[in-house]
Amino acid sequence: MKNHARLYIDTNRIISDIPPLLFGGFAEHLGRCIYEGIYDPSSPLADQNGFRTDVISALKELNFSIIRYPGGNFLSGYHWMDGVGDRKQRPRRRELAWQSIETNQFGVNEFIQFCREINTLPMLGTNLGTGSIEEAASLVEYCNAPAGSYLADLRISHGFRQPHDVKYWCLGNEMDGIWQIGHLEALDYGIKAREAAKLMKWQDPSIKLILCGSSSMSMSTFPEWDRNVLEACWEYVDYLSLHCYVGNRENNTPRYLAISSQLEQQVDILAAALRYVKAKLRSKRDIYLSWDEWNVWYKAQNWQGGWTPAPHLIEEEYNLEDALVVAQWMNVFLRKCDILKIACLAQIVNVIAPILTNPTGLVKQTTFYPFNLFRKFTNGKSLDVLVKSPVYHADQVGEVPLLDVSSCYDPDSGTSTIYIVHRGLSENLPLEIIWQDLAPKTVIDIYQLAGMDPKAANTFERPETVVPIRLPGFEIKDKTTTLIVPPLSFTTLVCKFDVTN
CATH number, position 414: 2.60.40.1180
Task: Grade residue 128 by pLDDT with cuts at 50, 70 and 90.
Answer: very high
Report the distance separating Cα 420 and Cα 402, nearest Å.
10
What long-range pairs does 201-206 form, CB within 8 A, spacing at least 24? 201/236, 202/137, 203/137, 203/140, 203/141, 203/144, 203/145, 204/140, 204/144, 204/145, 206/167
Task: Grade residue 2 by pLDDT with cuts at 50, 70 and 90.
Answer: low
Q: Does residue 488 share a domain with residue 368?
A: no
Domain boundary among the residues 341, 361, 377 is at 377
Domain boundary among the residues 377, 406, 436 is at 377
* Averaged pLDDT for residues 125-142: 98
Query: Coil, strand, or helix at residue 283?
Result: coil
Least confident of 252-256, 298-302, 442-446: 298-302
pLDDT at 303: 87
Task: Grade residue 498 by pLDDT with cuts at 50, 70 and 90.
Answer: confident
Instruction: Please give, one letter per residue, the 3-state secondary structure of 401-440.
Output: ECEEEEEEEECCCCEEEEEEEECCCCCCEEEEEEECCCCC
Q: Does residue 404 share a domain with residue 260?
A: no
Inter-CA distances, 462 with 83, 308, 458, Å: 38, 30, 6
Residue 61 lies in a domain: yes
- Structural domain harbouring 440: 5-12+382-496
Report the distance separating Cα 193 and Cα 190, nearest Å.
5
Residue 501 lies in a domain: no
pLDDT at 3: 83
> In degrees rounded to 5, what are phi and psi of residue 40?
-155, 75
Q: CB under 8 Å to 124, separation ≥6 — which residues?
A: 69, 70, 108, 111, 139, 143, 166, 168, 169, 170
Residue 23 lies in a domain: yes
Task: Grade residue 217 by pLDDT with cuts at 50, 70 and 90.
Answer: very high
Q: Where are the beta strands (DSSP E) in 251-397?
A: 288-296, 340-346, 355-358, 361-364, 381-383, 386-388, 391-394
Q: Does residue 301 share a domain with residue 416?
A: no
304 burial level (CB within 10 Å; 0-12, 13-18, 19+): exposed
- pLDDT tens for 377-409 read 999 999 999 999 999 999 988 999 999 999 999
* Four-point Cα dihedral 140, 214, 174, 62, nearest 10: -70
Q: Does residue 387 share a domain with residue 324?
A: no
* 238 pLDDT higher than 70: yes
**Pick from 440, 320, 436: which is nearest to 386 by CA?**
436
* Averaged pLDDT for residues 351-380: 97
pLDDT at 265: 96
* Averaged pLDDT for residues 16-27: 98
Domain boundary among the residues 377, 403, 433 is at 377
- pLDDT tens for 373-383 read 999 999 999 99
In this structure, are residues 200 and 140 in contact, taking their beta carbons and an 8 Å threshold? yes
In this structure, are residues 354 and 367 in contact, taking their beta carbons and an 8 Å threshold? yes
Q: Does residue 161 share a domain with residue 214?
A: yes
**Pick from 166, 168, 172: which is nearest to 211 by CA?**
172
* Averaged pLDDT for residues 418-422: 98
* Averaged pLDDT for residues 79-87: 98
Q: Does residue 225 share a domain with residue 322?
A: yes
Report the distance separating Cα 350 and Cα 335, nearest Å.
29
Q: Report pTM.
A: 0.96
**Pick from 8, 57, 132, 20: which is nearest to 405 by CA?**
8
Q: Does residue 160 share a domain with residue 42?
A: yes
Q: Does residue 405 share a domain with residue 475?
A: yes
Q: Does residue 391 share a domain with residue 368?
A: no
In this structure, are residues 143 and 166 in contact, taking their beta carbons and an 8 Å threshold? yes
Q: Does residue 105 share a domain with residue 168?
A: yes
Q: CB under 8 Å to 285, separation ≥6 — which residues?
A: 234, 235, 278
Q: Does residue 433 share a domain with residue 294?
A: no
Q: What is the CATH number of the domain that holds 223?
A: 3.20.20.80
Q: Does residue 227 share a domain with residue 153?
A: yes
- pLDDT tens for 137-191 read 999 999 999 999 999 999 999 999 999 999 999 999 999 999 999 999 999 999 9
Number of domains in the chain: 2
The strand pair at 66-69 and 355-358 is best described as unpaired
Inter-CA distances, 416 with 11, 406, 493, 495, Å: 9, 11, 8, 5
Report the distance separating Cα 277 and Cα 287, nearest Å.
10
**DSSP string of 130-160, one letter each residue:** SS-HHHHHHHHHHHHPPSSSHHHHHHHHTT-
- pLDDT tens for 303-344 read 899 999 999 999 999 999 999 999 999 999 999 999 999 999
Residue 411 lies in a domain: yes
Residue 271 lies in a domain: yes
* 11 pLDDT higher than 80: yes
* Averaged pLDDT for residues 233-246: 98
Residue 280 lies in a domain: yes
Q: Give catalytic residue positions.
A: 174, 293
Choice between 498 and 148, residue whose per-residue pLDDT is larger: 148
pLDDT at 500: 64
Inter-CA distances, 168 with 69, 125, 164, 201, 238, Å: 11, 9, 12, 11, 10
